[in-house]
């Protein structure tokens, strides 16, 4: 296939469940780089219509008055074929700490990096005739290592360079303030809705409504499963060591309300 230009991506990321939870997880919201202005403008328009000016995040879904705004936001995500969400959920008890220098901090950073490299690898394979450039915006990583974002950038490029021969597709990994970054905010919302399944907390009716809205768009009765690995619009990857235990999780096919074109992401 002839090289017809660089595919530039913006990936907005967040993490969840890092403080004492039985599971922790990482989310990534993908869009074409040139769509970032459209995305930010549409978010502003929705905020204005609903008079919603707080930060968009799972922990602030605590009033039924905000549900119409969040439902429109979810509808917007599923209608746009150039937006996709992928996340990784890790069962903490299944992590073999001895493989990570007995360090939870290191284990989490490895799993975070694993999610990104896995999804970028698939993009590089799917569009093998094109050069790629990934720009990644992340919320502050909960790590004792001060340069966790820089280390992630180096490691992801090293991993991908070994397979794709010195491509160095990761342009940058930059820590951003989530309050000023709508992509990270939407990622936080989606990831929080997914993680609620495994945290099993008593949730506010507004949170239940938001989770049900996402489930409806997936064609699911509720948010109590993960997806097949081939799912590209909204992918939930439940990871554990299957050599030590059964998965214990239902994997359910997705039947999207708005069908996703499984070709190029425009």
Measured between alpha carbons, how far is 86 from 68 in angstroms, rounded to an integer? 24
Question: Could you tell me if residue 158 is inside a domain?
Answer: yes
Is residue 259 situated within a structural domain?
no
Domain coverage including residue 51: 6-239
147: confidence class by pLDDT, cuts 50, 70, 90 = confident
CATH number of the structural domain spanning residue 231:
3.30.420.10
pTM of the predicted model, to two decimals?
0.90
Q: From start to end of 77-209, where are the E strands?
A: 83-91, 131-138, 170-175
**Coil, strand or helix at 65:** helix
Residue 105 lies in a domain: yes
- Poorest-pLDDT segment among 102-106, 167-171, 200-204: 102-106
Considering the domain boundaries, does residue 258 fall inside one? Answer: no
68, part of any domain: yes
Cα–Cα dist 144/146, whole Å? 6
Average pLDDT, the chain: 87
Q: Number of H helices and number of E strands within the chain?
A: 6, 6
Number of domains in the chain: 1
Residue 195: inside a domain: yes
Looking at the domain assignment, is residue 255 inside a domain? Answer: no
Average pLDDT over residues 147-170: 81
Asked if residue 248 is part of any domain, the answer here is no
């Amino acid at each position: 296939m002839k090289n017809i230009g660089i595919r530039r991506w913006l990936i907005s990321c967040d993490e969840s469940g890092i403080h004492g939870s039985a599971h922790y997880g990482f989310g990534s919201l993908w869009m074409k780089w040139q769509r970032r202005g459209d995305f930010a403008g549409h978010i502003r328009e929705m905020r204005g219509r609903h008079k919603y000016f707080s930060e968009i995040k799972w922990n602030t879904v605590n009033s039924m008055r905000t549900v119409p705004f969040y439902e429109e936001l979810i509808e917007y995500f599923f209608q746009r074929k150039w937006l996709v969400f992928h996340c990784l959920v890790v069962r903490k008890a299944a992590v073999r700490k001895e493989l990570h220098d007995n360090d939870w901090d290191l284990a989490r950073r490895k799993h975070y990096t694993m999610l990104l490299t896995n999804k970028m690898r698939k993009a590089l394979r799917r569009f093998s005739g094109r050069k790629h450039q990934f720009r990644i915006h992340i919320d502050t990583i909960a790590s004792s290592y001060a340069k966790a974002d820089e280390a992630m950038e180096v490691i992801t490029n090293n991993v991908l360079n070994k397979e794709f021969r010195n491509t160095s597709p990761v342009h940058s990994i930059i820590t951003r303030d989530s309050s000023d970054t709508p992509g990270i905010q939407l990622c936080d919302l989606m990831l929080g809705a997914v993680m609620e399944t495994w945290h099993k907390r008593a949730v506010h009716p507004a949170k239940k409504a938001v989770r049900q809205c996402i489930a409806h768009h997936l064609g699911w009765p509720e948010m109590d499963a993960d997806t097949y690995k081939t799912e590209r619009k909204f992918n939930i990857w439940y990871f554990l060591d299957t050599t030590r235990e059964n998965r214990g999780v239902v994997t359910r096919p997705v039947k999207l309300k708005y069908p996703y074109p499984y070709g190029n992401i425009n």
